[in-house]
């Protein structure tokens, strides 16, 4: 039996973290749909049987967002603009305005729960990564709006702020969760970030919470759920 009742939309599902979110939802037997820019890329990643679960579109297009969020109870966003490609839209258009548009329209269309993958150090304007179109500050503005919209009664948000992302297997490291953007450095596997995002759907301690997450020592784990208790201890 699934631990979450309802359907989850994964925005940015064909990205390097998004594809792990999809795997994690499948492992937890949770119903899902995908919001992706390219059907071809999604089929290449997930196989032809994914086609019925896709809505194709961009967070720049309100009508495409509205189509994607129909009959959705929760949304996990693994979207991020490509800050190193000068031809890509800037962080102000994707990481700020795109996420704010996604969160606003999702709420209007009945989505109750919003889980956003953001970044460590978003509250530090002088961080070197802000050289790239103020990407961290843009993410903070999006976070602020997600918190404002989804902290109303009947709604909930979870904002994950991972350290530098790596591409290894899940459940192979202890994790450190913290709040207040105090961690200055650290890395974490995209697969673990994805699993924590999915656990956040049905873990009450994760609701209406913003937290940082990085990995620690190597170890083989059965679940990442116990790490949520670090924040409230």
Residues that bind ligand NAP (CB under 6 A): 12, 14-18, 37-38, 41, 58-60, 78-81, 94, 98, 117, 119, 162, 164-165, 190
Min CB(193)–ligand NAP separation in Å: 7
Distance CA 105, CA 100 (A): 9
Min CB(187)–ligand NAP separation in Å: 8
Distance CA 208, CA 2 (A): 22
Q: Give whichever of 1 and 212 is closer to ligand NAP, judged by the CB atom.
A: 212
Which of the 8 DSSP states describes residue 206? G
Closest CA to 19 of 134, 170, 130, 142: 170
Name, in order, each residue with C-beta under 8 angstroms of 13's C-beta and a sequence gap of 6 or more.
Answer: 19, 21, 22, 34, 35, 36, 42, 78
Min CB(17)–ligand NAP separation in Å: 3
Q: Give whichever of 152 and 185 is closer to ligand NAP, judged by the CB atom.
A: 185
Beta bridge partners of 54: 34
Closest CA to 19 of 36, 1, 40: 36
Min CB(11)–ligand NAP separation in Å: 6
Min CB(177)–ligand NAP separation in Å: 15
Q: Give whichever of 83 and 206 is closer to ligand NAP, judged by the CB atom.
A: 83
Percentage helix, strand, coil for the chain under 3-state DSSP, each rounded to 5: 40, 20, 40
Min CB(13)–ligand NAP separation in Å: 7
Q: Give whichever of 7 and 64 is closer to ligand NAP, judged by the CB atom.
A: 64
Q: Give whichever of 122 and 233 is closer to ligand NAP, judged by the CB atom.
A: 122
Is residue 78 a contact partner of residue 13, using CB atoms and an 8 Å limit? yes
Q: Give whichever of 56 and 171 is closer to ligand NAP, judged by the CB atom.
A: 56
């Amino acid at each position: 039996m699934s631990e979450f009742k309802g359907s989850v939309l994964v925005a940015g599902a064909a990205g390097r973290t998004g594809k792990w979110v999809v795997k994690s939802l499948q492992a937890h037997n949770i119903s899902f749909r995908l919001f992706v820019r390219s059907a071809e890329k999604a089929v290449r990643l997930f196989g032809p049987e994914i086609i019925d679960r896709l809505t194709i579109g961009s967070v720049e297009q309100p009508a495409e967002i509205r189509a994607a969020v129909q009959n959705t109870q929760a949304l996990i966003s693994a979207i991020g603009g490509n800050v190193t490609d000068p031809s890509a839209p800037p962080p102000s258009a994707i990481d700020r305005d795109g996420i704010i548009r996604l969160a606003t329209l999702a709420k209007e269309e009945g989505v109750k729960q919003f889980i956003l993958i953001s970044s460590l150090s978003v509250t530090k304007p002088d961080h070197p990564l802000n050289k790239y179109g103020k990407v961290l500050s843009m993410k903070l503005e999006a976070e602020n709006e997600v918190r404002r919209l989804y902290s109303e009664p009947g709604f909930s948000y979870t904002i994950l702020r991972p350290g530098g992302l790596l591409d290894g297997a899940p459940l192979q490291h202890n994790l450190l969760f913290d709040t207040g953007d105090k961690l200055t450095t650290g890395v974490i596997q995209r697969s673990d970030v994805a699993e924590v995002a999915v656990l956040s759907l049905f873990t009450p301690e994760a609701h209406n919470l913003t937290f940082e997450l990085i990995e620690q020592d190597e170890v083989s784990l059965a679940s990442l759920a116990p790490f949520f208790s670090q924040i409230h201890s």
